[in-house]
Every structure is written in C-alpha cells, then in structure tokens.
Structure 1
Amino acid sequence: MRLFRQLGPGRLAATILFLFAALLIARFSWHLPLAAQAERALYDLRLSQTAEMVDPDPRIVMVVYNDDTLIETRKRSPLDRATLARALANLDTMGAKAIGIDILIDQPQDEDEALLATFRAMQTPTFLAYASAATNVEDIQFNQQQFLDEFQKRLAGTRVKPASIRFQVDSDNVVRSWPQRVPGLPPLLSVAMTDGKSRFADYDRSIRFRIPAEQDRAVFDAFPIQLFADDATAAAFADQVRGKYVLLGGTIIDVDEFETPLRPFTGKSMWGLEVHAHMLAQLLDDAWLEALPRWGTWGIAIMVVVAGALSSLLGGAWWRVSFFLAIQLGFFIGYPIWLQADGTDTQYLPAFGWMVGWVIAFAAIGTAARAVGSEQRRFAQSALGKYLPRDIANQILADPDRLALHGEKREIFVVFTDLEGFTKLSHAIQPEMVAKLLNRYLDMMSDVVLEYGGTIDKFVGDAVVAFWGAPIARPDDGERAARAAYAMWQAGEEFRASVPEGVPPIGQTRVGLHFGEAIVGNFGGEGRIQYTALGDSMNTASRLEAANKQLGSGVMASRAAVDRSGLDWWRPMGRVVLRGRSTPVEIYQPVPDLDASDRDHFKALMNRVADGDKMAVQELESLANAKGGDAALVNLVYRLKNMESGGSYVLD
C-alpha cells in the first residue's frame, strides 16, 4: 500500500494502462498498422532463412508458355490455343496423373473448336482454370465472365473440370497464404488435381515455399509447351511426364508474377504457376502447418510483458543484468525461428509485438520504479539528512552497502554534549514547553553537527552523541569535529540566552571531544537497526563531557583529538584521571578568542609546570586572578597546587 501511495493514483493508472497496451500489442500486433508491416517482414525473413532446400520435385512438372513461345506463335494475348490443343493431345498419351491448366479461356479465338475437341477427347483428369469476376474485379469483365462460363458448360460430361486459380495476397501484395475458400468457386487447382477430397480444401494458412538446393536449378522442372505441341519432339519427353502431375501455364516476363516471402532470399518474384506447384507439393506431402494455439500466444504475450516489467527492476553487476537481457533477446530472435524451422506456422506469430510489448512494459515499470525510487530517495535523503551531512547521505544512497548490517573497526572523532540542569528544569515547567524547548535545542545541536559534516549517533534526552570518520572518512574530520564541538557550546549559550520569559535559567552546554578506535556499523537486527558506534572512545568522550562540570569548563578535548585537529587554538589544561578510569589523560580547552601570543605564553608556562617549576604555578595563579571569571583556569591552578609534580589529578 505504501508503494501505491508513493506512486500516486495518476501514475498508477498510467502504468496499468501502458501494461495493458503492452499486452494487447504483444498479442495482436499483426492487426495493428505499422506493426503488421514489421511482423510480415520478420515472417518473410524467418521463412526465407528456414525454407527447406530441395532438389527438383520428381512428382510435378511444369509445361509453360515462355517468351520464346510467344515469338514462335506470334501471339501474346490471348495465348495461342492451337499450340495448347496440340500439346494437350500429346500429353494425354503420356500417362500423367493429372493435368492442371492455369490459363483462363475467357474470350473467343478461332482455334476454340479445335481446343474443345481436344478437351472432349482427353482421358487424363484435366482441370481448367476458372475465376469469378466477383473475386477478380480488376481482371475479369462481365463479357469475359459470360464467355468463360459458357465455354466450361460446353465441357460438361468430359474429363475436363473447372478449378479455381484464385490467389490471396496481403495488403503489401505478397502471396503468403492459401486462399480462403469462397462459396460458388470450384475447388482450388492443387486440391482438384488430387481428387478434391483433401483436407487442404479448407486450409487457409501459410504456403510452404521451398528453395532449390543448387543455384542453377529450380524446385520444379519446366519445359516449353512448344516441345509437346510438336509431334516430332513430344515423344522424347514422355518420361518427363509419366506418373507426374502436370501444371500448364505461363512463365512470361511481367505477366502473372507474384511477390512471395522468398523474395529476400531469391531476389526475384514467382510466377503464378510456380505458386500452384508449391501448393500442390505441400498438399502431396500433407504438410499441414499448425500455428501456436490461442492460449499459447496469450501465454507468451503475458510472459514477455511480465519479463519486461521484471527486467526493469533488475539490479546488480552490469554483467549479470546483461546476461539476463541477452537471454531474453535470444528468445525474441531465436524462438520464432526455431518454431518456423520445426514446422510450425509462424505467420501471425506476434514476434515484433513481443519485443514492443516487452519494451513498453520495461519502460512503464521502469518509469514507475524510478518515480517510487525518487520518492523513496527523497524520503531517505530527508531521513538520512537528519543524521548525516548531505554529501555523505548522497553517497550512501548511491551505495547502500556502506550501511550494511555489520560492524567495522574505525578511528573516529567523538563528541558528547549535555545540557546542564535540563532534567531538573523539565519538572518545573509544563510538558508542552519541555517538548518545545528540547526540540529547539536538539535542532540547533543537529544543525551544527551536520554543518560540520558529522554523523548524529543518538539523542539521549538532551544529550547529543555525534562522530566524524564514519561511515565515510575525510582528511579534515579532526578539524571539523573540533570546530563543531566549540560551535555546539556556542549554540548552547545562544539557546540558554533565548529561552522564553517565565522559564527558569538553563545551564550551559558541556562538550567532550575525543579521538580513538570504535566499532561502527548497523546494530539491532534486520527489522530494527541503528547506525551507531561502540567502544572505549565513546566512553572517554562521555567522561570528558562530564568532567567539564568539575573542571569549570564548557568544552574539553583529549590530546589524541587535539593533535589531529590541525588547529592552534588550544590551551593545555593538565593531566587528569577521568572518573572510573585509571590512566591519566592530557586535556585541552579551545580558546579561539585568545591571542596567539597569549596561547604560546600559556603553553610555555605549562611546559615549565611539567618540568617541576613551582614558579610557573604561581604565574598561572597570578594570570587566573588577573583574568577573573575564568573558572577553568582557576580550577587548573587548584589542581596543580593539590597534586604532586608530574602527577595527575583524579576527578571525582
């Protein structure tokens, strides 16, 4: 539900709409403008690359009118029927299984009676081309239709039967499929030649085109019709006809030529007679091409949309993402080709639609994911920005592994702060005012930490814990931490001076700064984690903060932190043993307002103290009396006078 809220109703509706559109395109792209053209092109490519390469088919022979025939007969249109009559008479004696004639007899010629006589005498099953003006509006006129019907009526009772030579071309004028059966038309030529009872009578799927195994050969042998019209030469070709199916028609340049899916491979179109031959061979082989079932195409469409959507969410190394994308690309390219090569009819297989649907789903979910990610990033950046500086937060958002659930040993600068007297104050004023004051105070402290590039570890009541050097370390972390420690004390002074009227006085903010090793990382478990630091350095910083009360100071730092701060504003404040510790710590107080010469003089005095010079202690006391109000200096003199030379003062 949170994801939906982050996505928003408008973007959610748009995403669902795009996914639905992706599914429809992945299923119905053959029926969409432009996409259908791409689908046909891909189908033609698949067919031409997977078409069976064969030697000339021994079952089918073509007897053709070619351009040489036209020259010899001196007739172009209509074709010379005397030649046809003589050739049919000779073919009838050669033992062909059937003869199919792809020539329309649709207008009168002087040789018609001779041709009719030949037809009436035919003993070989013969099938004469028939076409209807209703299905060939541009090619057959009314008077042609009348003559065609009348001519074929005169063949009633003979072995010559009508057969449809209709082709079905797609919108790009390419023949890809068997024509759908039209009521009123006789059986298709190839079906009629094989007794007309074949199940291919109702077949309307793809034509199985084949290509020659050798470049200088053809799938079907073809012989000029004039060889069979001449009695002297016809007998020599009897063996080429015996026991075969004979297709008789024209292979004349620019006449009856059709584009087929093989054009990308062969580089040329195909005569109508050849198309009939391919269909006849397919029928004889019973090569009924089955398509994927409807549930299969729906299933794949859903699968590719889901794959596209999930792919947009892939993450990890580039090579892993590339591997999965390559597998999917291989499917889009290879699966349709494999189906075609395996004998499945891939016409109307939405291969292009799959790719488009995948891309749309990828883009839709990717856009939605980026929107959610952006929203989450803004939220995370806002949340991290409350604890981390902006540049570190951005680096962690770019590389979340930096905040993995583990700890690592790091050297860090730790700052502890505490607001003196706030707990007692909280019992003296209304809870609403307590919350208001505390929130304002913590905001001021947090702003300082983040301004100086620190990481906020935790709030403990009015106490603030912060560190520098993790999760990302920077060369100037020491200076940042030192400046932040002093700025937090200043912010505390500003806060206590600006409390509303009626609120009892608030104490100063005490700050402790230390440098040391700590275990830093996410702790608490996968469900509830906190990025924090653990270790002795944290305790030392806490004790330095607490020591301020007894030392009369506001900010106190260890020598380990001072030596790495890169700042010269420190004054040494002796050696102390912090509460609960046994090892002494050299402590320093930031005094940026003190002149450099005064700081150097102070350091020289402390060096003399370390060397056992009692006069140096007296000079420090005179300095404390002269300054007045410097509680930390007064406390230092007190400690030096009440401990052995070279020793350490033990704090309560």
Structure 2
Amino acid sequence: MVDSREVVHIQCYIQMLAQKILKNLMKKGRGLAVPLAGFAVTVLVALFYVYQPSWLKNLDLRLYDTVLRHGHTARPGDRVVIVDLDEQSLHSLGQWPWPRYRMALLLKKLQQAGVQAVGMDILFAEPDRTSPAVLRRELKNDLAVDVEFTGLPEALRDNDRIFAATLADGPFVLGFFFDFEKKAAQAESVYVKDLNPASLARDQDVALPDLLFSAPSLLQPLENLAAAADASGFINTIRDQDGVLRSTPVLMAYEGRIYANLGLSVLWVALGKPPCIVKYSAAGTESLRLGKVTVPLDAQARVWLHYRGPARTFPYYSAADILADRVPAAELAGRIVLIGTTAVGLHDLRTTPFDSEFPGVEAHATLIDTILAGDYIRAPVWLPGLEFCLSIGAGVVTTLLLCTLGARFILPVILLFALLCSFSSFWVFSRYHFFFSPLFPILSTVLNFSLLSFLKFLRSDKDKRFLRKAFGKYVSGPVVDRIVAAPERLSLEGEEREVSILFSDIRGFTSISEQLAPARLSALLKSYLTPMTRIIIMESGTLDKFIGDAVMAFWNAPVEIEHHRQRAVSAGLGMLAALPALNERFRDDYGLTLEIGIGIHAGRVSVGNMGSEDLFDYTVIGDNVNLASRLEGLTKFYGLPLIVSDALAEVFVAGYSIQEIDLVKVKGREEPVTLYTFREDKTLADGELAGWARALAWYRSCAFVEALHELELLQRAQPRFQPYDLYRERCQACLVSAPPPDWDCIFRHASK
C-alpha cells in the first residue's frame, strides 16, 4: 500500500499548485508587481522632467535642433546685411588688426551708402599700434631714435582719434565683452554706454539686475572710442551645456547697471533710440519693449534664436569690396549692417543647430532679424505643465493597458503615440513657433512598455516553468504545452464539465501486500505505477490520484481534450497491453504476477479544487465518477480486465472490437447502464460476436432454450470468457424458475 504520508504530500503539492495558479494566472491585472513597477517608472520620469539630468537635457536639446532644422519655414528679411573681414580682405589689405583709419574709412563708406545703423562685432580694447604717434614713442623707447613726421597734420598722427571722430559722426555701435571665466581686474571707470531701460515690475521688492546674468568683469573699448560711439553692446553669447548656441541674453548686469546685447543695441539705434521698457516679476523677466516692438524674454532675459538656416544665409559683403567701392550703394541703403569676421584664425565661429561653424556675427544678425520679423520661438508658461502632465498620463495609460492587454497589442499603440507626439512637435513649431518636447511623454511610454513587458515576460516565463514542473507529472507534454500557451483556459474553480474517468485496481492486492516486506512492496508499486502513469499521460490524461494500489485519472480537464473518450479507452487498453511484459519481470523479481481491472465511464461531473480552505485537491466528483468506480469493481464479477459504459459504445479502436456485456443497475444508482468491453480482433473466434448478439437477443426475449444453445457453442469456442458462463447459468436458472411477466432483463448488483 502507498504510505499515507505520500498521499498528504501529493495533496499539499496540488494545493500549492492550485493556489499559485489561481493567484498568478487566472486573474488578469490582479498582481501588484506590474502596476507598482509602472507607477515607479512614471514617478521616475516625472523626476527626470523636474530635475533633467544632463544626458536627458542634451537629448531634449538635440530633439529641439531636429525640429528647428526640419520644422522651420523662416527666411531672412532684407534689412540686415553683414560686412565680412574675410580672407579676401585680409589678403588684399593686410593682416588683422587693421589700422583704425582704415576702419574709419570703412564706416564712412557705409555711412555714405545710407545705412541705418552699423554694429561692430569687434573689440577695440587697445590703442592702434600703427598710429604715427605710437610708432614715434615706441622707437624712442626701444631704440632711442626720435622720429619726426614732418608735414603730417596733427589730426592724422593718432589713428584712434581719427576712428573716434568717425564714430561720433554716425549711427555706430561698438562691441564690448563680459568675462565670466576669470575675475579680471575691474576697470577704474566704465566707458561703455548702458541701456538704462525703464522697468515695469510686478514685484517692487525685486530689482531687475538681480534677475539677469551678472558679469564679474568686462573688456571694453578705449575710453575715447566708447564715448564717441552712438551706443555699446556686449558681444557675448552663452551656449547650452552641449556647446550649441540656441539662445542669447539680450540684457546683462554689471555693477548694478544694465547693458544690452550688440544686436539689440544696433536695432535700438536703427529704430531711432525709442524708449525701452522691461517687464518683469519675481519669477524673472517677461518682455522688453522698444517703442512699438515687443520682444518676449525668458526668465533670464534670453531670446531663442530663430535661425534662418546654416551659415551665410544672410547677405555677406567683403570689406575689401566696400573699401574699393565695388558694392553699389543701393544694396546697402536703409540696411542694418553688422561688421564681423569669418576669416580662419580669428576664431569667431559658433556651433548652432544648423551648422558646426557658424559666424558669431551672423548670430547677432539672426537676433535682429527675428525681432524685426516678430517670429519668435516662444515658451508659453503653461507648456512645461502640459509636458509634465502628458508624461504622467502616458505612463499611467501604458501601465493600465499592459495590465489588461498583451504586449503585442500595445506595441502598435506605443508606436502610434510616439509618431503622434513627434508629428505634433513639428506641426506646433511650424505653426505656432514654440517647441513642444515629445521626449518625456515618449520616454515615459517606452520605459513603461519596456520594463513592464520585461517583468511580464519574466513572470510569464516563471509561470510557464512552474506549470511545466507542476503539471508535467500529471498530464502529457502536449497538454502541458496547451496549458502553458493559454493559461487563461485553465480553470481550477468548481465547474461542470463532461469528462472521461478511468479507475484501475490490482486484484488481490491485500494478499500481495501480506507476502512482501514494505520496502519490496513499495518497489513493486513503483515499478507498476510508473509505466501505467506514463501511458495515461501519453494519452493526454490527467492523473488524479493514487488510492493505495488504485489509479484514478480523467480526460478533458483542466483543459479540453479532443476525442477524450477514445483517449481514455486507448489508455485502458494500453495499460492492459503493457501488463504481460511487466508480469514477466515481476515473476522473476517477486515470484508473482498482477491482474488488474479497469473501469471507464464518461459524463458530466464537477471538476475543480475540492476540499477545505486549508487543504484541497484538484479532482472530479459526482455520480458519474462513482459509476466509473463501480465499473472497475464489476470487472472482477464478470472476469474481465476492462469494462466501459454505454457512454463509450461509439468509440473505435483499431484492432479491437467492442462487445456488449450486460444491462445492469449498480448499487446506489437507479438508472440502468449497458456494460461493454473491448476485445482484440485476433482473439475472437469466427462468428463469435454474431453468435453473442443472437444469444443476447434470445435471452432478452425469454427464449432461454435457444439462448442456452448459442451460449454453449460460444463457451466451447471461448471457454475462458466468463460472461458466457454467467449467461448460461442465468438461462438455466430461468428455465427452472421463469422470470415474472414484467421482467426488464436488467441485472441488479447488490454490492459495490
């Protein structure tokens, strides 16, 4: 007999199996691992958005560059031109720096052409060393030679004086430089002209200079040059953390005073020096008004540069051509001119979204043209809130979808969402000129999808391995594959289902157990039950339990099995076919052989977890289960190894014929059942089944003499087939004592 502790172990194992399957597989979205992970990822993306680590910020800026390059439609206006101290000019007129009188001549040429204003992206911080007065002084100091420039007018002996006189005579703006990298010695006096704008403050407790970039030191032009110029402007540009110039401050503070960017100062002069008003609050600057022109600012007085394209998008004129009068005055009249350099070696190149070598002077031109055109790249105050909420919403929706649907259904939605966000970013920029970043909504979606899909994969893989390990001992490989492929079909809750049930038992096992020691008995059972179990599993059956030496199995649960009746019969016949080989081994090893009886029935039963809250089995119960057990018990009465009910009468098995045995009522059941058995065709005598059919017909029509004659013929042909002998005895009994008139031919079994 099987040790009762082994039965308990099996029950506990089935209990754990059912509990895990119920909790992890059968209730979608019931587990908290995936939702909690989705919530954590969404919170992480929200923190990324708030704090924006450098690598994410750089990625966001690159997306901005892509949108700017492909989503912009702006072209430069005709108001701004650039005079270039280019390679041609340096080759024709000598290396830089040029004498100041030549710069004065260049300015006069531009003034004569009728330009509106001229800004110089050049720093004149030192005296002109080519001035005659400077040369005389240096020769005297270095070589003790005193040179007289006889006949040279006094006014021409100092190039800086010549340049200052020219500056004072026109709309010229000088550049200066704020030094943020080192604490240079501060100038004793500041010569450059500040903007000194009026302010419109929402919060009177905040001073405008406190909101601006504040420089620790500056490099400025010579005092006489700065005083002579119409205005001054800083030539600094502040690049983003990746080294790309995307925006520029138009106002900066130095020692409590406010100074304008070179481009803004030039435009201010070109517009006739209108009143300048800055609107700000405690949160930062908001806008700058130059007369009728309003310039939107970010919190630190920056303007996003709406680049018109790569380098040299604006008209360029060589300084040498201007000095040689090779440029018609009509091309310069009414224009705003910026003087700068693109010459190699003068190092005035910037990296922009359009170009890695973009002249700095053209950045100032871009600022002026953007203000004149009014096509600012804006950043609405509500935009960060929208991006933040969309990032959170995308993460939440992705998590909910992944908790309810499979990844293969979500992936197209994710791709569509990413495309929609990207398209929206391009469309919004081209239409409204503000940058909606698709990065964080897409990042939230992709991270949630990737991580949660991975978690679901791990959980699914774990569940599959668990199912294979758990069910692999009870059902066949193909059935396990079906359970693993579609675990949602697996129902462990109580339900009514049609199944085929098989019971088998070793006859006379009690006497066998008395003959063998416990260890040898256990080994015998193992040697017998192992191949029998494998046959059941090979036929896609579910091994329910071992009851001592008995085996209980069923088909069509926990998953549906096609042709489950035939598979149950095939399993029973397979067990009988395997027994002779086993008996040869048992005869040698144990000095005995085994005989078994198998009963099979099919019908509707209750299937699921049955038992208490603490301990339960996945099994089948019901009247049809009891009938299958009764059929197994009747095999001993009829001397047959296999009996099946009429529910399996239509089953066909190659090489076997089905033979009706009896119409009976079993104990505890009022409904009669017809009994059948399967016999190998090769064991049947000629005409045996036809003779048996005639014998049954005579018997049930009370023609007992004729039935007895047929049965005697059958018994002579098959003397070991016990049902023939039983019916012969019944016929003889009926001839002695005739049955009542209402006889129904049903044999009633009084015992199990």
Fold equivalence (TM over 0.5): yes
Whole-Å separation in 1 of the counterparts to 2:74 and 2:89: 30
CA contact (8 A) 2:503 2:600 kept: no
Equivalence for 2:747: 651
Does residue 361 (structure 1) correspond to residue 434 (structure 2)? The answer is no
How far apart in 1 are the matches of 2:427 and 2:220? 50
Residue of structure 1 equivalent to 2:370: 282
**Paired residue for 2:315?**
221
In structure 2, distance between residues paired with 1:84 and 1:558: 117
Written as runs of structure 1 = structure 2, the 5 A alignment for 1:538-549 is none
Is residue 452 of structure 2 the alignment partner of residue 329 of structure 1?
no
Match of 1:297 among 387, 409, 416: 387
- Displacement after TM superposition at 1:283 (Å): 2.5
Of 186, 192, 205, the match for 2:265: 192
Amino acid at match of 2:64: Y
Is 2:659 the counterpart of 1:566? no
The residue type paired with residue 169 of structure 1 is R
SS for the counterpart of 1:392 is helix
Question: Is the 2:122–2:175 Cα contact (8 Å) retained in structure 1?
Answer: yes
Cα distance change, pair 130–531 in 1 and its aligned pair in 2 (3 A): same
- The match for 2:712 among 618, 630, 636 is 618
How far the C-alpha of 1:643 sits from its partner, in A, is 7.0
Tell me, yes or no, if the aligned pair for 2:491 and 2:608 is still in contact at 8 Å. no
Q: Give 1:250's aligned residue.
A: 341
Tell me the equivalent position of 2:643: 556
SS of corresponding position for 1:248? strand
The residue aligned with 2:207 is: none
Counterpart residue type for residue 167 of structure 1: T
Partner residue of 1:71?
91
CA contact (8 A) 1:381 1:393 kept: yes
**Partners of 1:303 and 1:150 in 2: how far apart?**
52
Task: Provide the residue aligned with 1:501 in structure 2.
Answer: none
Q: Is the 8 A contact 2:598 2:635 kept in 1?
A: yes
Describe how 1:25-104 pairs up with structure 2 within 5 A.
Answer: 25=48, 28-29=51-52, 31-32=54-55, 35-54=56-75, 56-72=76-92, 74-104=93-123
Q: Which residue of 2 aligns with 1:478?
A: 566
Superposition pairs of residues 479-494 of structure 1, within 5 angstroms: 480-484=568-572
Distance 1:60 1:241 in 2: 11
Q: Which residue of 2 aligns with 1:438?
A: none
Aligned partner of 1:588 among 664, 677, 696: 677
Q: Which residue of 2 aligns with 1:466?
A: 554
* Contact 2:35–2:399 under 8 Å retained in 1: no
Structure 1 residue aligned with 2:352: 260
* Alpha-carbon separation, structure 2, partners of 1:10 and 1:402: 22
For residues 245 and 675 of structure 2, the distance between their equivalents in structure 1, rounded to whole angstroms, comes to 97
* Length, aligned pairs only: 577
Q: Is 1:125 the equivalent of 2:171?
A: yes
CA contact (8 A) 2:263 2:368 kept: yes
Mark the CA change 1:75 to 1:601 in structure 2 (over 3 Å): closer, same or farther.
same
Structure 2: which 5+ residue stretches go unaligned? 1-18, 25-29, 132-156, 193-217, 279-287, 289-296, 507-528, 580-594, 610-616, 699-705, 736-742
What CA distance in whole angstroms lies between the structure 1 residues aligned with 2:379 and 2:470? Answer: 60
Maintained 8 Å contact 1:309/1:361 = yes
Q: What's the CA shift string for 1:37-91, capped at 9, x where partnerless?
A: 443433222211122242x51222222322222222x322113432220122243
Cα distance change of structure 1 residues 416 and 314 upon mapping to structure 2, 3 Å threshold: closer
> Which secondary structure does the structure 2 equivalent of 1:76 belong to?
coil
Cα deviation digits, residues 415-438 of structure 1 (max 9, x gap): 365999xxxxxxxxxxxxxxxxxx
Structure 1: any 5+ residue segments left out of the alignment?
421-442, 492-507, 525-529
Counterpart of 1:31, as a letter, is: S
Deviations along 1:118-138, one digit per CA (max 9) or x if unpaired, are 434534332101114445899
- 1:331 counterpart letter in structure 2: L
Name the counterpart of 1:241: 333
Are residues 52 and 414 of structure 1, via their aligned partners in 2, closer, same or farther at CA, if it must alter by over 3 Å?
Answer: closer
| Structure 1, 14-23 or 577-586: larger mean CA deviation | 577-586
Contact 1:562 1:588 (8 Å CA) reproduced: no
The whole-number CA distance in structure 2 between the counterparts of 1:600 and 1:24 is 88
Per the normalisation by structure 1, the TM-score is 0.68
Quote the offset at 1:16 in angstroms. Answer: 6.8
Deviates more, 1:329-338 or 1:533-542: 533-542
Q: 2:729 aligns with which of 631, 638, 648?
A: 638
Write the letter of the residue equivalent to 1:124: G
Would the aligned equivalents of 1:415 and 1:511 in 2 still touch at CA under 8 Å? no
Which range moved further: 549-558 or 161-170?
A: 549-558
For 1:14 and 1:583, the matched residues in 2 are separated by: 60
Structure 1 residue 270 corresponds to structure 2 residue 332 = no
Cα pair distance change 1:583/1:252, threshold 3 Å: same
Task: Provide the rounded CA distance (Å) in 2 between the counterparts of 1:220 and 1:575.
Answer: 107
Question: Which residue is 1:113 aligned to?
Answer: 158
Cα offset for 1:538? Answer: 9.1
Amino acid in structure 2 at the alignment position of 1:186: Y
Deviation at 1:176, TM superposition (A): 1.6
| TM-score in terms of structure 2 length | 0.60
User: Per-residue displacement from partner, 1:145-186 (whole Å, max 9, x unpaired)?
Assistant: 999968532246534332100112345432222148353583
Structure-2 residue corresponding to 1:429: none
Mapped partners of 1:329, 1:643: distance in 2:
88
Percent sequence identity over matched residues? 18
Distance 1:376 1:175, change over 3 A: same
Q: Deviations over 1:422-475 (max 9, x none)?
A: xxxxxxxxxxxxxxxxxxxxx99999855642257999xx99683469955467
> Displacement of 1:19 after TM fit?
5.5
Q: Please give the alpha-carbon distance, in whole angstroms, between the structure 1 residues aligned to 2:607 and 2:428.
A: 53
AA partner of residue 160 (structure 1): D
Q: What pairs up with 1:433-452 in 2 under 5 angstroms?
A: 450=537, 452=539
Match of 2:291 in 1: none
Counting only pairs closer than 5 Å after superposition, residues 461-540 of structure 1 correspond to structure 2 as 466-467=554-555, 471-473=559-561, 478=566, 480-484=568-572, 512-513=599-600
Distance 1:10 1:571 in 2: 55
SS of the residue 1:61 aligns to: strand
Aligned-partner residue type, residue 258 of structure 1: R
Q: Distance in 2 between matches of 1:151 and 1:379?
A: 81
Question: Could you tell me how far apart the structure 2 residues matched to 1:403 and 1:310 are?
Answer: 24
Cα pair 1:96 1:124 within 8 Å, conserved:
no
> CA offset at residue 233 of structure 1?
6.3
Aligned equivalent of 1:165: 235
Give the letter aligned to residue 513 of structure 1. I
Alpha-carbon distance between aligned partners in 1 of 2:165 and 2:734, rounded to the nearest angstrom: 143
Q: Relative to 1, partners in 2 of residues 1:573 and 1:66: Cα closer, same or farther, differing over 3 Å? A: closer
Give 2:248's match in structure 1, choosing from 175, 178, 182. 178
Counterpart code for 2:368: L
Taking the aligned partners of 2:476 and 2:220, their CA distance within structure 1 comes to 97
Contact 1:544–1:578, Cα closer than 8 Å, also in 2: no
Distance 2:183 2:66 in 1: 32
Bigger drift between 154-163 and 572-581 goes to 572-581
For the residue of structure 2 that corresponds to 1:154, the secondary structure is: helix
The CA deviation at 1:561 is 3.9
Shift of 1:588: 2.2
